[in-house]
């Protein structure tokens, strides 16, 4: 998806800021505790139209938010309603200056909100991009990450940073945040071959902030055991990077199944997620796991390159009553897709 574009007419100026959604292939939750995660952008996302309200000083305002899936149009999966969004817009004004008070945003999304597909981070990135595009200014990736992270914090409290770093970088990255310094490292993962996926949505989740807080509370009672689980997940992510770079998709799938076992042990899976994982494996998926915070939300299935392999799983998910779509990881060879590629970068946690 292109990041920005402009449409001008005699009476209206509309500028668009957009951002893709993301999936987490390995390492959600453990990444909050300093372990590696592997995440990737997907080929659908969010677009924010920015317009100017002549003479207005009370903004910025959100004019419309088109549903990202039937029945779900909330931008804040933690269920705190428009209050959080107002807070995010006020923060945007303090980050980008008083000039944004006359701006109005309309949001269109092709990813479900509250499903672990990065809708709130994509919204944060698209808003910041849209503002800078409106004022015809360049913003570099490090500044974009910092600003989007601040906005994302309004929705998610204390996110690891994996969502918006992936969304700004584009492509597949290995992400890790040092807990001591807060410095984050994003390293590109160079795919050796096409990596087809199917995404199924096991319903809305209860919110990333809620899931992370509840897990932290459960872990306190058995901290050493939970730390072993986080370390195990981190080891899977580190190993999976090599398998992805060598094109060993069968091994990647096996590690995804293991990662899902760990996530179940952490208590963030649900019966619907387990049904989707089992359905995908029965239909030939190489591996399947939840993606994101869990407690609902997205399941990703890694699919072999066979004819109609993705279609069979999409149909099986739909037959079981779940929304689903086929996608693939952005190719490392830019001539294969037009996704932007990440460069290795380190960002400092702004907190
Ligand atoms: O917001 P989600 O559902 O994409 O989850 C983000 C991943 C977590 O590891 C659960 C939280 C985080 O901040 O990394």
pLDDT (tens digit per residue) in 3-58: 445 544 334 589 999 999 999 999 999 999 999 999 999 999 999 999 998 888 88
- Annotation marks residue 163 as catalytic: yes
Q: What pLDDT, on a 0 to 100 scale, did the predictor assign at position 333?
A: 57
Scanning the chain, the segments in alpha helix (DSSP H) are 81-96, 119-134, 141-156, 162-169, 208-220, 223-246, 249-266, 271-282, 309-319
Q: How many whole angstroms separate alpha carbon 158 and alpha carbon 150?
A: 10
Q: Which residue, by CA, sits nearest to atom 13 of ligand 1?
A: 159
Indicate if ligand 1 lies below 6 Å from the C-beta of 160: yes
Indicate if ligand 1 lies below 6 Å from the C-beta of 30: no
Q: How many whole angstroms separate alpha carbon 150 and alpha carbon 43?
A: 25
Indicate if ligand 1 lies below 6 Å from the C-beta of 35: no
Minimum-distance ligand 1 atom for the alpha carbon of 29: 9
Q: How many whole angstroms separate alpha carbon 317 and alpha carbon 17?
A: 32
Structure tokens at 34: 């300093």
Using the mean position of ligand 1's atoms as its centre, give its distance from the Cα of residue 329 in Å.
19
Using the mean position of ligand 1's atoms as its centre, give its distance from the Cα of residue 332 in Å.
24
DSSP 89-151: HHHHHHHH-GGGGGEEEEEEESS-TTSSS-HHHHHHHHHHHHHHHHTT----HHHHHHHHHHH
Q: What pLDDT, on a 0 to 100 scale, did the predictor assign at position 157?
A: 75
Whether the CB-CB separation of 197 and 308 falls below 8 Å is answered with no
Q: What pLDDT, on a 0 to 100 scale, did the predictor assign at position 82?
A: 67
Question: Which one of 212, 299, 349 would you pick to mutate in the ligand 1 pocket, going by the greatest count of ligand atoms within 8 A of its CB?
Answer: 212
Q: Dihedral, CA atoms, 72, 127, 342, 114, nearest 10 degrees?
A: -20
Entry pTM? 0.88
- From the candidates 76, 163, 304, 305, give the one annotated as an active-site residue: 163
Indicate if ligand 1 lies below 6 Å from the C-beta of 162: yes
Indicate if ligand 1 lies below 6 Å from the C-beta of 60: no
Indicate if ligand 1 lies below 6 Å from the C-beta of 146: no
Indicate if ligand 1 lies below 6 Å from the C-beta of 29: yes
Using the mean position of ligand 1's atoms as its centre, give its distance from the Cα of residue 174 in Å.
14
Question: Which one of 35, 38, 121, 160 would you pick to mutate in the ligand 1 pocket, going by the greatest count of ligand atoms within 8 A of its CB?
Answer: 160
Using the mean position of ligand 1's atoms as its centre, give its distance from the Cα of residue 53 in Å.
35
Whether the CB-CB separation of 136 and 24 falls below 8 Å is answered with no
Indicate if ligand 1 lies below 6 Å from the C-beta of 293: yes
Using the mean position of ligand 1's atoms as its centre, give its distance from the Cα of residue 323 in Å.
21
- Sign of the CA dihedral with 197 first, then 202, 203, and 207 last: negative
pLDDT (tens digit per residue) in 204-231: 777 888 899 999 999 999 999 999 999 9
Query: Rounded to 5 degrees, what are φ and ψ at 149?
Result: -65, -40
Indicate if ligand 1 lies below 6 Å from the C-beta of 199: no
Residue ranges in the chain modelled with pLDDT below 70: 1-12, 66-82, 333-351
Using the mean position of ligand 1's atoms as its centre, give its distance from the Cα of residue 102 in Å.
32
Question: Which one of 20, 22, 26, 31 would you pick to mutate in the ligand 1 pocket, going by the greatest count of ligand atoms within 8 A of its CB?
Answer: 31
Q: What pLDDT, on a 0 to 100 scale, did the predictor assign at position 12?
A: 52
Using the mean position of ligand 1's atoms as its centre, give its distance from the Cα of residue 159 in Å.
7
Indicate if ligand 1 lies below 6 Å from the C-beta of 78: no
């Amino acid at each position: 998806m292109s990041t920005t574009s402009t449409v001008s007419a005699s009476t209206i100026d509309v500028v668009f800021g957009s951002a893709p959604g993301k999936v987490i292939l390995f390492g959600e939750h453990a990444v909050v505790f300093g372990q590696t995660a592997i995440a990737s952008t997907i080929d659908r996302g969010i677009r924010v139209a920015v317009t100017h309200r002549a003479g207005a000083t009370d903004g910025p305002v959100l004019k419309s938010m088109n549903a990202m899936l039937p029945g779900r149009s909330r931008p804040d999966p933690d269920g705190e309603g428009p209050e959080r969004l107002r807070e995010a817009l006020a923060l945007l004004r303090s980050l980008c200056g008083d000039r944004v008070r006359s701006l109005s945003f309309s949001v269109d999304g092709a990813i479900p909100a509250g499903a672990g597909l990065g809708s709130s981070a994509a919204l944060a990135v698209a808003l910041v991009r849209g503002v800078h595009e409106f004022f015809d200014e360049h913003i570099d990736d490090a500044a974009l990450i910092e600003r989007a992270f601040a906005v994302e914090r309004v929705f998610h409290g204390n996110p690891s940073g994996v969502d918006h770093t992936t969304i700004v970088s584009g492509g597949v990255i290995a992400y890790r945040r040092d807990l001591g310094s807060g410095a984050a490292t994003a390293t590109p993962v160079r795919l050796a071959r096409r990596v087809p996926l199917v995404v199924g949505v096991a319903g809305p989740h209860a919110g990333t902030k809620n899931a992370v807080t509840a897990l932290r509370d459960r872990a306190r009672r058995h901290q050493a055991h939970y730390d072993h689980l986080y370390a195990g997940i981190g080891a899977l992510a580190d190993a999976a990077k090599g398998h992805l770079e060598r094109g060993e998709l069968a091994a990647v799938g096996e590690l995804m199944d293991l990662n899902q076992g760990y996530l179940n042990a952490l208590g963030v899976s649900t019966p619907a997620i387990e049904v989707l994982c089992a359905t995908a494996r029965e239909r030939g998926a190489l591996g399947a796991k939840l993606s994101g915070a869990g407690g609902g939300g997205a399941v990703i299935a890694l699919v072999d390159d066979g004819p109609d392999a993705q279609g069979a799983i999409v149909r099986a998910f739909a037959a079981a009553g779940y929304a689903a779509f086929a996608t693939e990881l952005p190719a490392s060879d830019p001539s294969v897709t037009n996704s932007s590629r990440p460069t290795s970068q380190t960002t400092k946690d702004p907190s």
